[in-house]
Amino acid sequence: MHAQFLPSLLPSLDWITDTTRVAKLSQDFNWYSPVLKRQLSDKSADIVVRPTSQEQIQAVASACATHHIPLTIRGTGTGNYGQCVPLQGGVVLDMSAYNQVLWIENGIARAQSGIRLIDFDRVAKPKGHELRWIPSTFRSATLGGLYGGGFGGAGSINYGPIASLGNILKVKIMSVHETPQILEFEGHEALNFHHTYGTNAIVLELEFALAPSVPWMESIVCFDAFEEALHFANELSIGSGYSKKEVCFVSSSIPPYFTNLCTHFKSGAHAVLTVFAPCSEMGVKELAQKHKGDITYLKNAQEVEQSNRTLIEYTWNHTTLHALKVDKSLTYIQSGFDPTRYVEQIKTLEKALSDEVMMHIEFIRTKEGLVNASGLQIVRYSSDDRLQEIMQIYRDHGVQINNPHVYTLEDGKSANYLNPKILTTKDDLDPQGLLNPGKLRTWVRKTH
């Protein structure tokens, strides 16, 4: 049966059939990569469905399994690697209307996967809690999309990536069988579906640990010297007494792309964008002075709220977005430095490639608790071959590349290690290989 007949089988569901809307809901932000844009821009589902309940999701999963129709799950499509772009047509399962907070208690929450992160925090903050990490897309991105295709974000300087044990406590998932199974996994097993691009199950609910809510302040600090800016960012990140949520370092070629903020940057300056608690205001000022930095922007939580602008939307992959708005020929790379020598690695690579690669570093804590640098460098793209060469130069300096110019799990962030559990859970929960086909390259369908 063709996917377009599904509305006649399940008429009470919210189906989207208009081809323009279906095409739009089949794409994400893969266009950041000239390589992915070429490969994915013409890919589309046949139909989109937006369920509001577990029963409706179950009905879609069952119909797809019965009629062998590909099923690609979507949050709100802010992923960068074509994670939710269907390669083989079929149905896009848009989870954004499955979006209730179920409960918040004792620093733990449980929510449906389609909830937008901003909506979750709106409920959690009055109760004294907030999400441990928010991607810079927090206004639109969903919890299930962050878990299924993301890494972390602001807050990862304290709690590491989502994959750090203790962040995600339980996951409730649904299989794709004629009679879909509903299962719950906890502890380390709750990560078997994390960053799997929705290839091994439909995530229904997540239970996760929260952070205490803080009235965060925001600031931009400008520096004449690259090294002073880097050391300021590093000392702020390492300093255990500073209470912070975000430390983002950008070299001097990047701030001119922040056109809405340009009055807050000194011409030719390197900058650190930071989000910190009021108790650390004095510490940030002293540290800036030590490194000859000028604080050119400082807002308290109330001012941030009133301005309806947060510096978080200039960090992580929003930095790249602002640059792309000005110059569409740019692209980017993603890199994970060595926690024992990242400062030296950054300085060396800046010297080697500063004409072509604009340094953007997010400071994070690793799963093991070490402070480290995670790069989202902006690249002046010239050719696919040169892009590969640049990534190889990084690797040659001992920096891990999480290639954002590929759409399969095995070639991106999981290039060095793919959890074998991902393949075995797919055998069990999606035996026909209907979930996001083509994204899990090494999975082979078992013949029965």
Among 22, 26, 28, 159, binds ligand FAD (CB under 6 A): 28
Per residue, the 3-state secondary structure of 81-123, as one string, reads: CCCCCCCCCCEEEEHHHCCCEEEEECCEEEEECCCEHHHHHHH
Tokens matching residue 82: 């074509």
Q: Does 56 bind ligand FAD (CB under 6 A)?
A: no
Among 15, 120, 151, 363, binds ligand FAD (CB under 6 A): 151
What distance in Å separates the CA atoms of residue 203 and residue 318, rounded to the nearest whole number?
26
Q: Does 51 bind ligand FAD (CB under 6 A)?
A: no
The Cβ of residue 241 has, within 10 Å, a number of other Cβ atoms equal to: 7
Among 51, 70, 79, 155, binds ligand FAD (CB under 6 A): 79
Q: Does 136 bind ligand FAD (CB under 6 A)?
A: yes
Q: Which stretch, 75-83, 229-237, 260-268, 298-306, contacts ligand FAD (CB under 6 A)?
A: 75-83
3-state secondary structure of 223: strand
Q: Is the dihedral of CA 166, 170, 174, 176 positive or negative?
A: positive
Which residue type occupies 142? T
Q: Which of 232/314 has CB closer to ligand FAD?
A: 314
**Min. distance of Cβ 66 from ligand FAD in angstroms?**
20
Among 70, 86, 90, 145, binds ligand FAD (CB under 6 A): 145
**Min. distance of Cβ 224 from ligand FAD in angstroms?**
28
* CA-angle at 258, arms to 257 and 262, nearest 5°: 110
Among 45, 59, 71, 84, binds ligand FAD (CB under 6 A): 84
Q: Which stretch, 5-13, 136-144, 286-294, 363-371, contacts ligand FAD (CB under 6 A)?
A: 136-144
Among residue numbers 199 through 258, which ones bind ligand FAD (CB under 6 A)?
Answer: 202-203
Among residue numbers 92 through 111, which ones bind ligand FAD (CB under 6 A)?
Answer: 95
What distance in Å separates the CA atoms of residue 196 and residue 366, rounded to the nearest whole number?
20
Q: Which of 163/298 has CB closer to ligand FAD?
A: 163
Q: Does 77 bind ligand FAD (CB under 6 A)?
A: yes
Q: Does 430 bind ligand FAD (CB under 6 A)?
A: no
Contact between 91 and 72 under an 8 Å Cβ cutoff? The reply is: yes
Q: Does 62 bind ligand FAD (CB under 6 A)?
A: no
**Min. distance of Cβ 14 from ligand FAD in angstroms?**
16
Contact between 61 and 203 under an 8 Å Cβ cutoff? The reply is: no
Sheet of 217-223: strands edge to edge? Answer: 294-299, 217-223, 270-276, 244-250, 360-365, 371-375, 335-336, 400-401
Tokens matching residue 391: 């990534």
Kindly list the residues in this chain that would bind ligand FAD in the complex (CB under 6 A): 28-29, 73-80, 83-84, 95, 113, 135-137, 141-142, 144-146, 148-153, 197-198, 202-203, 316-318, 321, 436
